Structure 1
Amino acid sequence: MEKKKNHRIKRKRKEKPSARELHRPRSSDANAIFAQLLASLCSTPNSVIFINKCLFKLRRSLLISQTSLTSTLALLPTLLRSTQVEIVCLAADIIGAASLVSFDANEEIASDSETVKGLISLLHSRKRKVLLSACNAILDFSTTTCARRQLLKFSALNKLMFVFLQIFDGLECVCLWSEGGGSFCSLKIGIKEDKLLLVFLTATVVLINACEAEQLQGIPQSLSEAFLGILKQIRVRVSDQEVIKGAGKCNEEGHLCKSGITVSNLAECIFRLSINASQLTGFLSFEVVQRGLFGASDTSFNDFISNYWEVSPFLLARTMRDPDMHDMFGAFVQSLSWKGSVPSLLSSILQGLVACFPIASDEQNILNFLDEAKDKLGCPIVYQQDIRVVKTEMQSTKEMHYFRDFNSSCVKEPQYFTFHEILKCGQAYNEGYTVALRGLEFRYQSISAIADTLACMFGQPSVGANLYLTPPNSQGLACHFDDHCVFVCQIFGSKQWTVYSPPSQLLPRLYDNLLGSVVDCTKAGRREFILREGDILYIPRGFPHKAYTESGVGDGSPGFSLHLTLSIEVEPPFEWGGVAHFALHRWSENQKRLFYDGSNFLSQKLLLVSVNLLHVAIGIISNLDPCFRKACLTAAVSLPPDVYDSLFQSQRNTFFYLIDKIRTESRFIEVISSIEVAVHKNEDPFQQIRWLWVFCMEKETSSEYNINKSFMSEDILSLCAQHKDKLEALFLNVKSRFCSEVVFEEVVTSHRMLLQKYRSTRKQYINGMISLHDKL
């Protein structure tokens, strides 16, 4: 016994493994688990428990270390098709865990179509536990672009939307929660007591916000509309101030399932699903808008274009109207909660509005706008961008802002209007301030329909609409002139207008810097107009004007004024100067042999430069000749045939007047001198046609010769210094050929196509914004 005892003492004892070593996966673990799983799947149903243990080990191994999934990947489709709930859920969990732990694993799973389709197929299950595991896995898996692409390819989004619609049982469970601070950016969506509903909403929103435009169009219309309807209801729910105030109480009232979906994520999802909808903005007929703005006569639009358009103010008084005609502003007036008091009117107009961030006029891809603005979509209105609260003392030329802190020039961040500021607008109104709200065409379907029809009538990309509410005995804006034409439409009350003669025969261009422009009206001719309910006043761009209200004028007016302005904004490509530039571009495109005829590189470059010099010449003429600044209406549609024929002939005459001016007044020496001055001032002589370069880059990224290389001013001057005589000869040749060969009808056809590009993106933007305001 003594020997045995000593033997035990001398034997080396095994050390207990540490906790870290117990959980550290060995290199052979994944292969071992794969072998065990394969053996178990080939055996009897009694192996279910063992399979679950293997899957649990594999999941734990993935979470602790980046274990390779390659060997097990082949078994996942089989595991996902299992009739055993536990096996299916663990298989889905493994996909989610692997996707989060390793980018390589995520990519590996995404490359296996059968696994992806197997995961998506779980969304057909009627078992809540399976749905929860599948959706969680999809949410984890969708963290990479590659994975999202595969999920969309195999219709995961459609299935998620369908299931969500089946399990959504009312808005009572929806609320807001905040990460802290209570700011707009911190507000997120929460669901009370229902984790399944939350993960389905989250996964669906994530995938929708990852879609390209073509993928959004691939969603069945009925499914898209049904899901969009629910999202709008949720947005209305969380936009209610009482919900925001009560959001913090959700944890006290019950368990709150918190999502990472922000209010802006929800707004982006609504925007995306709305961009291609056709029923959001509606359409008013040409006849309704014509009778509303120009009178009942069949020749009234023709008369307006011939005698007043961009030439002189025009008043259509209500007494001149057909009393039986359709009131085109009726739907808008009915949408206001007008209860006889201005505070209630203000509240009904401002409550629930969101900011409409500007989109570039030449933007041709709506997703570019979303990339820039998506973190701010759905936020409250922004001072100066969406709303202003101003007044001007009589005889003063300076406007005063009620919200002086918001008007500070040193403030760079957006100044959001809170519910508190909205209430303050009533007080500001009582103190004589005008409330000016921009972008009504983005906020009211009825106004959007009017604006769209008017844009078609004038052949322009879009028409803006602003609202002005002015108290009695007050003036809002100081005397000023605009870079766009306006139709002032008196909705309630009355207002007195003074319109002065323009300081220049040259119409101001859109985006011209008018800040600081002093309007001296002491010597200018003037006309006085009194607008009463239903009256409409047209003011051309460049005509200085001011307006004020007076109480007790004896006409039964309430003393205050509510009017809308419909703004015809002539974008650079759609004024006559822009048409001339576009015509030259189209002609040079049709003359490719002129540039690629086998001649050497220098000759090609000189020919391209000569075309660009002619663009500069057109710009010089445009700055001096009023006709080049007028709006081109060749793309006007929805007009009666007789009206269109008359307009077309008039536009044709104008076009050839322009061509003749280009032929006789384009001078090589003047062009070179202009470029030299621009270079000396560090200015771009091609700034006026930036829109055309954007258009060229969209179309010609793969052209034989990058056209932008010949646009450098210094390059042109260098070529001119070395090859002046040859370049001048080529310039004269290009000018002569262009003026002789350009065909008006071909220009009109191409110009209409350009307009559709502009209108297409603008229409998508309006659809998205209208949808964000729907039912608010």
Structure 2
Amino acid sequence: MEERKRKGSITTRRKWKKFQTLSSTSSSKLQHHAHGNNTIFALMLAALSADSNKPIIERCLNQLRLSLLSKTPKQTLPIPILSLLPVLLNNKCAEIVSNCAEIVGAASIFSFEMNEQIASDGEVVKGLVSAVGSTKMNVLMAACNAILDLSTTSIGRQRLLEFSAMESLIFGFLQVPKSSITSVSLRTEEKGGETCFRIGLKEDELPVLLLDAAITLINTCNIEQLEKMPRKLSETLLAYLKKLWEKVHKQMLHGTIQASIQEGHFYVSNIRTNNLAESIFRLSINTGQFTTPFDFKLIKRSIFGWEESSFQHFMLNHWEVSPLCIRRLSNALAKQDDIFSSFVQSLDFKEARPSFSSILQNLISCPPIASDELDILSFLKEAKNHLGYPILYQQDIRVLKTQQSEKEVHFFQECSGSCCVQAPQFLYIDDILRCEEAYTEGYTVALRGVEFRFASIAAIADGLASLFGQPSAGANIYLTPPNSQGLARHCDDHCVLVCQLIGVKQWTIYPLLSLQLPRLYESVDSLHNLEVERLRMDGRKQFLLKEGDVLYIPRGFAHEASTVVDNNGPNETAGFSLHLTLSVEVEPPFE
């Protein structure tokens, strides 16, 4: 036994001398000669059999890493060397594991072919994931960087997920020491012609690398992979990411974004704000933090009354035929089982002049989603570059009033010096505060996509969609000051249920101008070109909605509304109105 070890040691030393001579040539020349790779393989294989030959292995790995810098197109790792990587990644020597992980990382970004070659070798990927659990800092850093490099291709990300790299990274991130209060900074950069924000964290490099790699893989998962993640692990990370998001969102909202981040104070990650927003959404799927819809029977009772015949009467006599006002008791919203009460209470509108800027500051932009979209991850893939931004004018919010019952005037189109008139028209903190100013000047604040912003409204919208057998239902809210009109006369391509939450509002609904109802997404902006006298025919109907009342408006029926003072009501001094519109988009199969 000793004789074999002695002979092996002598052989290794002889090959080492030969390798030293070979190393004096350029690394590119070594790369282009098969005997160079064979020598590296032979040296490492021989050195692995003797614990005392660590310097030889390190020298071989360094030479191999240098050879990867030559950037020869479509180069691949020699199969013999590739076969040694799992052994090296599981070596007892931290320096060898670290150097090997760096080789794997360098190879992964050398070319697509080499990345695919690394990813296809399950033992290499397994060894890399195993290195993430190391207690040695240099090994952990090298493994994280290698995983990030391997993650630059879809096949690399999928293979890492197969070997539970995501769980290992999340566990490592939660275990590594971090600042109790993480400071953040944002840096602008251009990507694909669009401006995006990279996040800088006042942390050591290691936790940032772990988080970066974990978010990359989280945003690659399908539903099944997300559901397999340990619940406690995802919940703990989700809590951290939400706290981080609060700081990131505040930075965006206040416009404290830099062209560059001082490296000495913050570690600039590859995490962008939209990546963080997407990972929070995906983890919410796994932790079950989605709203449970109200039962459609509760929706039916709350809107149409407790008697079954009330809903049947509505469907037989009014659905897509004529408007209907459903009167409620004056104290309906005060009942604990009312579907709107929790939302109204959360607004805390106690004053005659409601304050809503704090609500707007917590909102983010919601990219439009088709009502029949069934694959949420497919939608995320398409919209991922637009996630997490401040609210966007027109898409998310409008601030407008109608003058002389015809012309709509938008507040931010009239103002100069506002951030939101720039493209894209995001509303930052100064603009949100100016919404309060606009309100005092008679402008209505209209917020779209409320079903994505408030859990209580989401439960109502989903229950309503179930009631009418549709994929989804939308929701908007409108806050109108006294003696004002928000939207001009118009008609919609979907049916609307107007729910009066606070105050009173006068509605005028005009007769249907065509026997053919507008189809979904069909343009209905031609009302201003119609003859005014025809709209003012005797068939128009007026409804004064009070708190708790619900007004049904079929698609295609022109309508307009304004605030009035209810001299007979208890809130006659309030004057403002808050109403919620629930939209039922009738899909062609339902027609």
Provide TM-score, normalisation by structure 2: 0.85
> Paired residue for 2:347?
336
Asked if 1:421 is matched to 2:423, the reply is no
Q: Which has the higher strand share?
A: 2
Q: Structure 2 CA distance, aligned partners of 1:252 and 1:429?
A: 41
Choose which of 491, 494, 497 in structure 2 pairs with 1:481: 491
Aligned identity (percent) is 50
- CA 1:337 to 1:84, structure 2 compared with 1: closer, same or farther past 3 Å? farther
- Deviations along 1:742-769, one digit per CA (max 9) or x if unpaired, are xxxxxxxxxxxxxxxxxxxxxxxxxxxx
Q: Structure 1 CA distance, aligned partners of 2:336 and 2:224?
A: 42
Rg larger in structure: 1
Q: Structure 2 CA distance, aligned partners of 1:264 and 1:497?
A: 41
Query: The residue matched to 2:580 in structure 1 has which SS?
Result: strand
Which amino acid is 1:100 matched to? I
Query: The residue matched to 1:355 in structure 2 has which SS?
Result: coil
> Paired residue for 2:324?
314
Which sits farther off after the overlay, 237-246 or 289-298? 237-246
- Deviations along 1:694-740, one digit per CA (max 9) or x if unpaired, are xxxxxxxxxxxxxxxxxxxxxxxxxxxxxxxxxxxxxxxxxxxxxxx
Choose which of 102, 113, 129 in structure 2 pairs with 1:104: 113
Deviation at 1:271? 3.0
Q: Structure 1 CA distance, aligned partners of 2:41 and 2:414?
A: 67
> Paired residue for 1:674?
none
RMSD: 3.1
- CA 1:242 to 1:379, structure 2 compared with 1: closer, same or farther past 3 Å? closer
Deviation at 1:356? 1.8
Deviation at 1:310? 2.5
- CA 1:245 to 1:514, structure 2 compared with 1: closer, same or farther past 3 Å? closer
> Paired residue for 1:532?
546
Q: Structure 2 CA distance, aligned partners of 1:523 and 1:122?
A: 78
> Paired residue for 2:513?
503
> Paired residue for 1:69?
77
- Deviations along 1:610-655, one digit per CA (max 9) or x if unpaired, are xxxxxxxxxxxxxxxxxxxxxxxxxxxxxxxxxxxxxxxxxxxxxx
Which sits farther off after the overlay, 507-516 or 284-293? 284-293
Q: Structure 2 CA distance, aligned partners of 1:266 and 1:126?
A: 27
Q: Structure 1 CA distance, aligned partners of 2:400 and 2:566?
A: 23
Determine if contact 1:355/1:378 at 8 Å carries over to the other structure. Answer: yes
> Paired residue for 2:579?
563
Aligned residues: 551
Q: Structure 1 CA distance, aligned partners of 2:112 and 2:125?
A: 16
Determine if contact 2:185/2:261 at 8 Å carries over to the other structure. Answer: no
Determine if contact 2:219/2:278 at 8 Å carries over to the other structure. Answer: yes
Determine if contact 2:504/2:566 at 8 Å carries over to the other structure. Answer: no
- Deviations along 1:452-504, one digit per CA (max 9) or x if unpaired, are 11111111111110011111110111122222221111122221112223223
> Paired residue for 2:523?
513
Q: Structure 2 CA distance, aligned partners of 1:272 and 1:430?
A: 40
Determine if contact 1:157/1:204 at 8 Å carries over to the other structure. Answer: yes
- CA 1:507 to 1:127, structure 2 compared with 1: closer, same or farther past 3 Å? same
> Paired residue for 1:572?
588
Q: Structure 2 CA distance, aligned partners of 1:113 and 1:253?
A: 37
Determine if contact 2:187/2:260 at 8 Å carries over to the other structure. Answer: no
Q: Structure 2 CA distance, aligned partners of 1:69 and 1:512?
A: 57
Asked if 1:33 is matched to 2:50, the reply is no
Which amino acid is 1:560 matched to? F
Which amino acid is 1:459 matched to? G
Asked if 1:206 is matched to 2:216, the reply is yes
- CA 1:141 to 1:355, structure 2 compared with 1: closer, same or farther past 3 Å? same
Deviation at 1:548? 0.7
Asked if 1:55 is matched to 2:61, the reply is yes
- CA 1:42 to 1:278, structure 2 compared with 1: closer, same or farther past 3 Å? closer
Asked if 1:371 is matched to 2:381, the reply is yes
Which sits farther off after the overlay, 194-203 or 277-286? 277-286
Deviation at 1:94? 0.8
- CA 1:210 to 1:545, structure 2 compared with 1: closer, same or farther past 3 Å? same
Determine if contact 2:325/2:549 at 8 Å carries over to the other structure. Answer: yes
Asked if 1:387 is matched to 2:401, the reply is no
Asked if 1:136 is matched to 2:138, the reply is no
- 1:252-401 pair list within 5 angstroms: 255-275=265-285, 278-319=288-329, 324=335, 326-338=337-349, 340=351, 342=353, 344-345=355-356, 347-394=357-404, 396-401=405-410
> Paired residue for 1:699?
none
Query: The residue matched to 1:124 in structure 2 has which SS?
Result: coil
Q: Structure 2 CA distance, aligned partners of 1:179 and 1:403?
A: 25
Which amino acid is 2:557 matched to? F
Provide TM-score, normalisation by structure 1: 0.66
Asked if 1:449 is matched to 2:467, the reply is no
Which amino acid is 1:106 matched to? N
Deviation at 1:225? 3.4
Deviation at 1:230? 2.5
- CA 1:212 to 1:447, structure 2 compared with 1: closer, same or farther past 3 Å? same
Determine if contact 2:234/2:287 at 8 Å carries over to the other structure. Answer: no
Query: The residue matched to 1:497 in structure 2 has which SS?
Result: strand
- CA 1:290 to 1:325, structure 2 compared with 1: closer, same or farther past 3 Å? farther
Determine if contact 2:451/2:461 at 8 Å carries over to the other structure. Answer: yes
- Deviations along 1:536-590, one digit per CA (max 9) or x if unpaired, are 2222222222111134735333011111111111111211xxxxxxxxxxxxxxx
Q: Which has the higher helix share?
A: 1
Choose which of 206, 229, 240 in structure 1 pairs with 2:250: 240
Which amino acid is 1:327 matched to? D
Which amino acid is 2:562 matched to? Y
Q: Structure 1 CA distance, aligned partners of 2:468 and 2:476?
A: 19
Q: Structure 2 CA distance, aligned partners of 1:335 and 1:184?
A: 36
Deviation at 1:414? 4.2
Which amino acid is 2:133 matched to? H
Which amino acid is 1:38 matched to? L
Instruction: Give the gaps of 5 or more residues in structure 1.
Output: 1-16, 576-776
